[in-house]
Structure 1
């Protein structure tokens, strides 16, 4: 049986069910797998087992054992994935545009997990589930940049703790429409499923707390801006939702409000790049910092905007 891990309930939580908190912060685990931990009495608060409906508050510390997953069915596929770092415990990859991070219902195309199984010789942790070997966090299909995979279960659980404890440095570059009124700012708006479209996220009253800081890197006339985003939480589509809500959707992101100007050709994808990823090595504690170079398409788009 895996060793128990410690999990601190993040800020912004007020008397929320334990099963929902865990599902939100351990997205790689299905609710049925998490339910097994409750059923076995392996979710503890102050040393006592709790039920899934137990209300939790920010700062509560749980001790829990997550059930072991079945062997992965993800086969290695050579997708030409480039690694920024690789050792016996973790690997940091450059995710290309157009590749889904992991599989799920109805997904038949090769995913980043398939590519990483090839790049790492099949040595990825199975703790994150059958279709998600090595997955600690995810990037959207069209988002590019640095992403870390766990190769051992020990590294996986340590990285999960680091992400849930907000101990990860994450910086993204985004090309957005129009010029913001200010050169920097902070967005603290809750995010949850869009009430009218369950495939989208939205700023929703009573949603999960979400915090994004941003600053302008470069202006391109009056119509486009390069923005650096600093992520303090990791909600689904967080940067895309926050920037759209601010009135500056990401160039090419039609899902969240981008519309081409008259005479402007819509790009084939949006431009969001996970440039900086920093964390302590899950085993050695060594501080690690990675900078993912801009993809050619992103760099070419910047050059086009500079020439306009």
Structure 2
């Protein structure tokens, strides 16, 4: 393990867990870069090695190099200074078909083909990206999705109610 490497942090000093894997009891020693390739979709060995070089790969709460051998029971994490993309909400100027709006809620007509919230493979161009551009400080629901009381599938069009205050979120969720 690498000793005395500085812990990478953002301005707030917070790191965000992007991946976490605990090696199974039968795990034979395997380089951490090869180990992670089995668990991270679309990862290349080069990207994992660069992440390790940058201090983003941790085993048992210690920064490791890409040649570290993962053993049974090791807890392997990939940590970055930014949230995972599905939680990284960026306001985008996307036109909205707002049917009704007041101080506490709005009703938007979502077109078919528009994804409601960011998730794997859909990190931008979502209704949430448009809503946070349109309205400041939307309250988050239990899944950290601002304003959403409910959702509909990407290929479904229809009306969605969006809470603009904590009180509205609580009331509408009931």
TM-score (norm: length of structure 1)? 0.27
Taking CA–CA contacts closer than 8 Å with sequence separation of 6 or more, which of the two structures ends up with the larger relative contact order?
A: 2
User: Of Structure 1 and Structure 2, which has the larger fraction of its residues in strand?
Assistant: 1
| TM-score in terms of structure 2 length | 0.46
